[in-house]
Structure 1
Amino acid sequence: MKLPRRVRLVLLGAAAPAVAALAALAISPSLQGPSVDTLYWLREALHGPRPAPDPSPVVVVGIDEETYRRPPFAGTPQALWGPRLGTVLAAMLDGGAAAIGLDLVHPTSVETLIPGFERDYLLTLRRGGRDGRLVLAKVQHQSDPLLPFRGYMIAAGVNNVRSVNLVEDPDGVLRRIPVTLAAAGADGTLQREPGMAVEVASRALKAPLELGPDGSASLGGYRLPGGGAPLLVNHATAAGAIPTYSLADLHACAEAGKSDYFAEHFKGRAVMVGTVLDVEDRKLSSNRWVTKPEGRNLPERCALPVMGELYVAGRTRDSVPGVYIHAAAISNLMSHDALAETGKAAAAALVVVLACLGALVTLAARPPVAAAGLLLLLAAWSGVAAEVFQGGLVLPYLQAALATVLVFPLALGLRFVVLDRDQRRIRNAFKLYLPGSLIDDMIASGQSPSLGGEERDLSILFCDIAGYTRMSEGMEPEALVAVLNHYFTRMTDIIEAHGGFVDKYIGDAVLAVFGAPYAIDNHARAAVSAALAMRRAMEEDSTLLASPSGRGSSRIGIATGPALIGNIGSPRRFNYTVMGDTVNLASRLEGANKYYGTAVMVSGETMLHHGDPAAFRALDTVQVVGRGEPVAVFEPLSDARRADPGERARLAAYAAALGHWRAGRFAEAADAFGKLAAGDGAALAMQRKAGKRAGTIAEPDWTGVTALTDK
């Protein structure tokens, strides 16, 4: 049993998005990371760079290129920097830093070789550890961690060492920081301890990390997105968003005893100390597509001016020093603005919804329109995802976009196979008999044509071949058919190009309709334009109606008015055709061309509907066979005739002569028409009529109507 088209459309509308959504969800884990990165780019495109909280709750002390170049660090092995680093740490502790994290792992020390060399540094570590404001770093490598020098851990306290490991996604990009990591406890069992960023934020907030039995995690009243799962970092992307201080400048500042500077810039803030070099410890992070040139918007210096030629103007890199990922995470934890990811169920629902919308757009319109609609849908989805991301929520952006893109070829392919098969069958069955627009209506409704009609205001064009009998004499039937088919093809193309359709071919005649099945702006103007184009084709193409016996020509009549149009006939056999007095009048006007020697003749109603009287020459007023009411007849003028000054003079003279005729001044009319008769069939015909009446007086009821006796 064949399912109804509407049912198949519903099934198709469900199948295509289902397949597209499943395909997108199958690779969703691989797309999630790039989706986050893309949302950074979209957010910045719509809202500009995201600034850090003002003031920033976290700052970075960078071991930068300037530190390596300035004394007392320049030329000194880094293993001997401990006392100088201790000087800066002590100044920051004195200045009221809330917590300091060292993103540095020094597994060895010269203290074993030069006893007492790092005494002050060790005392500073001890002080910071006892205050709970200093956290040393370790790195988990395989099964055993890389730990700081044992003397440093003893000084700071073994409970003040945390892992600086970051979470690397499958594509090698660092987008998350671990909330907790497994570490060996004092009794040798594995325990969960906070990562470096969480620990520094906890110390700065003076609030411990709280892990709930339901897997939730909270810090200072802030419920972390994702619970104890790795935290998705929300980077501030403005240039210099996280204030960065050069270790060299801070050392000189501390040596100069400028304690006020440290109090102003570090009091109450979390501090991360780490390397910020061009080549060392640089990471790809989720803000990789919106990074800014380095060295911009630096905070106020203390003792040393910024060293020149350290930064290339305008240069951006897709990697950032790892210390900034920790610093951004600390800022998120202290400001409560980390990124949250949509749950799996909600994400899947969004992907399915976008796929369904894409299928709806694809099935509701032709492919080019559907493609434009899908682009608009993707643009709207991009805007929504970027706005939601601005609020801290990550939607499955690329997954839903991929499903929307995939549904387009899937729906088109299925539509072509399942639905368009019937449409093609209907179109192929009726295209030779019905107008294309009517076939489109049938396909849209899913119904075959049925009997019925309506009266509409139309313009009817009737075209016949003059001299057909002479032209066809002596021609073989095959050759005659070839000539006629060539002629009909050319005339039909012109008619359809002007918005009309060919109702039927009647022997050597063509009956065309303008204004149905679909209304057009000005069907009379379209019909007249088509007629003039048909005449130009006859003049320009000498092969039309050419035969060994001589070349035929065409005559055209156009009438405008009400006509009955629709499917006329019996339930078993009918035609979409036009009937009525307007059709008959068009046929009579075509025949009237013979009397006036014209090629195209239109009714007064056609001239009025056309809207430009200057585009016509009034020929006469006639009464055609089979019609009681007289009709004014006009000849449409080509652009060339209207533009020719000599032709305009002749047209004016003809109008004056016609005025004499209609006023009953027959002698004057005959004389005026006679001056125009050479080369003008209409003037010659009117001269003959006026000449027969010359010397007579017009009847009191004279109207100037010419009764035509021939069809």
Structure 2
Amino acid sequence: MTSEGQAADTALGRKKLVSLIALAAISAGIVIGLSAKKAIWEGWVVDRLFQVRAIVENDQRPAPSPVAVVGLDQTSLDSERLTRIPRVLMTPVLAEAGQAVLDAGAVALGFDFVFAYSADSFVDPSTGEARLSGFDRPFQSFVYRNRGKVFIAHTEIGVPHRSFTAAIGSGGVRSVIVSTDNDGIVREHTPQLPLGESPHLIDALLGVGGAKIDEPFASIPTARLATSLPYMSLIDVLDLKTSEEGRKKLEEFAQGRIVLLGGLLPFEDEHLYSDRFLPHLDSEAAETGPSGRPRVQPQTAGVFILADLIGSALSDRITVAPPQGVLAAVSVFFAVIGAVAGLFLPLIVLPVVAIFGVVAGLSLALAGLEIGVLLAPGVAPVSCVSAMVAAAVGKVSILQRRQRSLVRLFGHYLAPDVIKHMAVSEELPALGGETRHVVVAFIDIVGFTKMSEKLADQDVVRVVNACFDAIGQTITKHQGYIDKYIGDAIMAVWNAPNTVDNPEKASVDAAHEIINQLDHIRQITAQNELDLRIALNAGPVLVGDIGGEHRRSFTVMGTTVNTASRVESVAKDKKVRLALSQSVANGLPRDYPLSEIWSGQLRGLSTEISVFTLDAPEIYMEKTVQPHEDDETQGAGNLVEFPRQ
């Protein structure tokens, strides 16, 4: 198999691994996200979305409601007319109020009372006399007269007395039981079709009102119901019906509406409802009778909930489940976003992405409310975050683990930039390369041959390694790259494979620091005669991999490299520790003290060059043979000035 084939297989293997991690993360995001639907906390989020919507819209002028509430509240019970009447004996009063409401133009009337007791059945225990016989006849006559327009309630444990059921008919008795979500809060109603035959009071009144609803729905309340629904106390209805002016006000209140009449005493028939976090409507904006409203309780009265569910369906102020497949599509979309972020973004930014995913998911659910669709608000955020976490875990535990292993394996042999590229791509670089401007250095241990003759082989290796380690640290410190070790010499490069802003300056600074470390190197190697010679040349080279299918090496090639090796011979002849070509000198700042030590044509080259050194005492191996003292040496003897940076 060729190297290109191996690289292709390796790349394909990585792509497969990334694809598997992405697929697993997306699948996890979808499954976990969809499982968030109907989670115990989802209802709380929905109610908060209602709150956000109400705050944003801040509508203090609610649209006219098709439903109104008449309440048997504490004000009514404390009134002069009703204070002495037990609640179980109020059927004549309720009949009177109900007829007044219907006469005022109400299209239907629903009693949120069970009427489980009939006064007609009362017998004096001492005499056996039916002393209240006929007491409930006004109410019985009222419901009989208005069959189809008046409905009374039953619950799981309470049913109307048979006399009332007989008067109103079986179709007039409907259930007022409301269903709660798994957090115990009322939000949704599921109608049973046909509405006119449904056992629920809500459906019966929706049928009378002409509603066209055939799927589960939730109301979208805009304020606390106790402060916003049209409301009038029972005593107000009884008082207003006695005068012409009052009947006009009653007509304004009831005309064309469905009216619900129920109890509003604290802690009786109350439920937590989705209006629990909503603001209170200004009392001046609410439609209210002369006696005002009862105090708002933490929970919502059942009659208000019935009224809101009916009114929202009649006024299209509802939200329904999205069409089949929409929620799954949303989950997939957010899971893909989360998986991509987890795989390809740095871990440090993932919390920001998670917050963005949550906000985006909730914003999408909030936007859905505006078109009457309730997108389960937990699905999108949970899908995004779950997929992102799964992808990030996969990346850290699998992909980055492989990358770290690769870095550890090759870290002592290749340049950090090369390793980083290989770790990310998990493939070998292509053979060949690119042309770049670099500085090439040859750093030679002087006197190595004589030293090796006097030392055992193990000691030679120890000395060389100690020397190379000290030199290598300085090269790396100045952004250089050790290309190879050649016996007792080092070939180093600046500006390949990494990028160096000023490779000429970096290389000269590194060379000068290495020379200044010479005493330290002699000390750690215990070789007092050890010395160094460094040659530098700058120019274009071919940077890349050379070799074949089974063995390759990252290196630089070209005339620039050959020239650098020839410059080293000048350093040897002139007995200096550092020699650098004109091309390196041209890239140095003007304050570097350069001295020309040679000019001419190097062996094997066709052009003439000048060679320089730093004019500093530590650069010269023999202090008695400095350039300015050797007037016979070609080109020596003066500090020179030429165009430099």
Query: Do the structures match in fold with TM over 0.5?
Result: yes
**Does the 8 Å contact 1:524/1:606 carry over to 2?**
no
Write the distance in 1 (CA, Å) between the matches of 2:235 and 2:530. Answer: 101
- Counterpart residue number, 1:135: 151
Q: Does 1:99 align with 2:108?
A: yes
Summarize the alignment of residues 390-469 of structure 1 with structure 2, pairs less than 5 Å apart. 390-411=370-391, 427=407, 429-442=409-422, 445=425, 447-460=427-440
Q: 1:260 aligns with which of 248, 251, 258?
A: 248
- Counterpart residue number, 2:594: 619
**Does the 8 Å contact 1:283/1:321 carry over to 2?**
yes
Which amino acid letter does the alignment assign opposite residue 166 of structure 1?
V
Summarize the alignment of residues 307-318 of structure 1 with structure 2, pairs less than 5 Å apart. 310=295
Aligned residues: 607
Q: Does 1:524 align with 2:501?
A: yes
**Does the 8 Å contact 1:339/1:392 carry over to 2?**
yes
**Does the 8 Å contact 2:191/2:213 carry over to 1?**
no
Q: 2:207 aligns with which of 202, 208, 216?
A: 202
Write the distance in 2 (CA, Å) between the matches of 1:57 and 1:597. Answer: 106
What secondary structure is seen at the aligned counterpart in 1 of 2:313? helix
Q: Does 1:159 align with 2:171?
A: yes
Q: Does 1:173 align with 2:158?
A: no
1:691–1:348 Cα change, 3 Å: closer
**Unaligned runs of at least 5 residues, structure 2:** 1-8, 123-130
Using the aligned pairs only, state the percent identity.
Answer: 24
1:488–1:622 Cα change, 3 Å: closer
- Counterpart residue number, 2:127: none
What secondary structure is seen at the aligned counterpart in 2 of 1:233? strand
Which amino acid letter does the alignment assign opposite residue 214 of structure 2?
L
Write the distance in 1 (CA, Å) between the matches of 2:102 and 2:159. Answer: 23
- Quote how far apart the aligned CAs of 1:333 are: 1.9
Q: 2:214 aligns with which of 216, 221, 224?
A: 224
- Counterpart residue number, 2:160: 148
1:566–1:256 Cα change, 3 Å: same
Q: Does 1:236 align with 2:243?
A: no
- Quote how far apart the aligned CAs of 1:392 are: 1.5
What secondary structure is seen at the aligned counterpart in 1 of 2:318? coil
Write the distance in 2 (CA, Å) between the matches of 1:45 and 1:242. Answer: 17
- Quote how far apart the aligned CAs of 1:138 are: 1.1
Q: Deviations over 1:544-573 (max 9, x none)?
A: 775356799989876553221111234443
- Quote how far apart the aligned CAs of 1:579 are: 2.8
- Quote how far apart the aligned CAs of 1:576 are: 0.5
- Counterpart residue number, 2:270: 282
1:197–1:298 Cα change, 3 Å: farther
- Counterpart residue number, 1:577: 555
Write the distance in 2 (CA, Å) between the matches of 1:42 and 1:601. Answer: 75
Write the distance in 1 (CA, Å) between the matches of 2:494 and 2:151. Answer: 87
What secondary structure is seen at the aligned counterpart in 2 of 1:329? helix
Write the distance in 2 (CA, Å) between the matches of 1:559 and 1:112. Answer: 119
Write the distance in 2 (CA, Å) between the matches of 1:601 and 1:329. Answer: 92
- Normalising by structure 1, we get a TM-score of 0.66
- Counterpart residue number, 1:568: 546
- Counterpart residue number, 1:41: 48
RMSD over aligned CA atoms reads 5.4
- Which range is displaced more, 592-601 or 623-632? 592-601
**Does the 8 Å contact 1:465/1:554 carry over to 2?**
yes
Q: Does 1:487 align with 2:492?
A: no
Write the distance in 2 (CA, Å) between the matches of 1:542 and 1:120. Answer: 122
Q: Does 1:339 align with 2:346?
A: no
Q: Does 1:245 align with 2:257?
A: no
Q: Does 1:291 align with 2:281?
A: no
- Quote how far apart the aligned CAs of 1:164 are: 0.8
**Does the 8 Å contact 1:49/1:237 carry over to 2?**
no
Write the distance in 2 (CA, Å) between the matches of 1:276 and 1:587. Answer: 101
1:282–1:311 Cα change, 3 Å: closer
- Which range is displaced more, 386-395 or 244-253? 244-253
Write the distance in 2 (CA, Å) between the matches of 1:535 and 1:445. Answer: 37
**Does the 8 Å contact 1:442/1:448 carry over to 2?**
yes
- Counterpart residue number, 1:638: none
1:369–1:306 Cα change, 3 Å: closer
**Does the 8 Å contact 1:12/1:411 carry over to 2?**
yes
Write the distance in 1 (CA, Å) between the matches of 2:400 and 2:175. Answer: 62
- Quote how far apart the aligned CAs of 1:233 are: 1.1
- Normalising by structure 2, we get a TM-score of 0.72
- Counterpart residue number, 2:126: none
What secondary structure is seen at the aligned counterpart in 2 of 1:456? strand
Write the distance in 2 (CA, Å) between the matches of 1:75 and 1:599. Answer: 119
Q: Deviations over 1:226-268 (max 9, x none)?
A: xxxxx22132233557425252673586377423332333322
Write the distance in 2 (CA, Å) between the matches of 1:322 and 1:543. Answer: 91
Write the distance in 2 (CA, Å) between the matches of 1:607 and 1:524. Answer: 16
Q: Deviations over 1:583-608 (max 9, x none)?
A: 56667889999999999998776687
Q: Deviations over 1:381-419 (max 9, x none)?
A: 443333223312233543454344443454456667776
1:305–1:104 Cα change, 3 Å: closer
- Quote how far apart the aligned CAs of 1:11 are: 4.8
Q: Deviations over 1:52-106 (max 9, x none)?
A: 9612222334455665677666787544555555565444334323333222334
1:588–1:270 Cα change, 3 Å: farther
Write the distance in 2 (CA, Å) between the matches of 1:596 and 1:69. Answer: 120
- Counterpart residue number, 2:26: 17
**Does the 8 Å contact 2:233/2:291 carry over to 1?**
no
Q: Which has the higher contact order (CA 8 A, sep 6+)?
A: 2
Write the distance in 2 (CA, Å) between the matches of 1:275 and 1:594. Answer: 110
Write the distance in 2 (CA, Å) between the matches of 1:535 and 1:284. Answer: 81
